[in-house]
Amino acid sequence: MMSINFTVHTVNIDQSIWMISLKNKNKKLMNEVKSTDLLSKSLKSCVKYLMRITQITEASPLTVEGSFTPDLLISKLWLWEELSRVLDRLDIQQVNAVYVLGSWTGSVGMVLAAKHFPADTIINVDSDPNWISMSQEIAQDMGFSDRTQHMIKDANSIDYRQARSPSVVINTSTNDIVGRDWFDNIPPGTVVVLQGRDATITTQSWDSLSEFESDWPMRQILFRGQLPLQDPETKYHRYMIIGQR
């Protein structure tokens, strides 16, 4: 594999187009959401699905509404933009498979599909069959089910058999997934995108971007950055690193 050197940097939030005002959400990102009907289409699909099941209630710790808050949609649009830039620098025009671990309602795959990300297939992986069923509904309703797969599995049991080079593994649920076999089993050379955050009471949390990065050693880091965001309860920092195993 060719050797490429990049200047690795921390995003300067004050100068970045991805600057998020905690009082006034970034207009560029919100226009991105509106331009692709991401929010309206996905929520309609979720409502249709929820009307047919009873297993998910308002008391669930992970809710449908919670998976489409502005901060999470912004995080995923940020992921799409920076991953696209990394692939351009690596001269990768098309990837074989994108594994999305802890896929929840499939919102990462939804954003990638809506933005025409060049992948042969997007594989949503979640251990909860209810979330997988919902992500199937969304993919069907939004017209990208033909290139989306859905797996009900513990991320730590994935063998990545479809990850022929070049492929991508995405995990935006690093705070919640217990264990690290999912990371250790990623094939060498695979492009890996990880997001995590601070200020949360979950399985694990990180106080800084450098602390987050140190937990996930890679052969080379191609991007590192952070965004200040606010969820419905608190202000926090979203970390992201992109590299190759």
pLDDT tens digits along 80-134: 999 999 999 999 999 999 999 999 888 899 889 888 899 999 999 999 998 898 8
Enter the tokens of residue 148. Answer: 């989306």
What is the per-residue pLDDT for 25? 37
Q: Nearest Cα to 155, choosing from 129, 131, 130, 181?
A: 181
Sign of the CA dihedral 138, 143, 144, 149? positive
**Side chain identity, residue 217:** P
pLDDT grade for 31, boundaries at 50, 70 and 90:
low
pLDDT value of residue 26? 45
Minimum mean pLDDT among 5-9, 134-138, 151-155, 241-245: which range?
5-9
pLDDT the model gives residue 82: 96
pLDDT of the residue at 113: 87
For residue 232, count other CB atoms closer than 10 A to its CB.
Answer: 9
> Out of 3-12, 167-176, 216-225, which region has the weakest mean confidence (pLDDT)?
3-12
**What is the reported pLDDT for 37?**
53
pTM for this one? 0.77
Q: What is the mean pLDDT of residues 147-170?
A: 95
Q: Is the dihedral of CA 96, 99, 151, 47 positive or negative?
A: negative
Rounded mean pLDDT, 164-180:
95
Banded pLDDT at 41 (limits 50, 70, 90): low
| Residue 198 identity (one-letter amino acid) | D
The Cα-based distances of 86 to 60, 106, 185, 243 in angstroms read: 36, 22, 22, 9
* Fold designation for 27-244: Rossmann fold (3.40.50)
In DSSP terms, which residues pair with 126 in a beta bridge? 152
Residue type, 162: Q
Q: Which tens digit of pLDDT belongs to each residue from 14-23?
A: 323 333 333 3
Q: What pLDDT, in 10s, does the model give residues 230-245?
A: 887 789 999 999 999 9
Q: Would you give the distance in Å from CA 23 to the centre of its chain?
A: 24
Among 163, 166, 205, which residue's Cα sits nearest to residue 185? 163
Report which of residues 70 and 51 the model is more confident about. Answer: 70
Instruction: Please give the residue that has the higher pLDDT: either 72 or 32.
Output: 72
Please say if the pLDDT value at position 225 is more than 70.
yes
CB 111 within 8 A of CB 139: no
- Return the amino acid letter for 157: S
Is the bond preceding 187 in cis, omega lying within 30 degrees of 0? no
What band does 65 get if pLDDT is binned at 50, 70 and 90?
Answer: low
Tell me which of 202 and 61 has the higher pLDDT: 202
Residue 3: its pLDDT value, please? 32
Supply 209's token pair.
């971007």
E strand or H helix at 151, and its extent?
A: strand 148-152
Mean pLDDT, the chain, as a whole number? 78
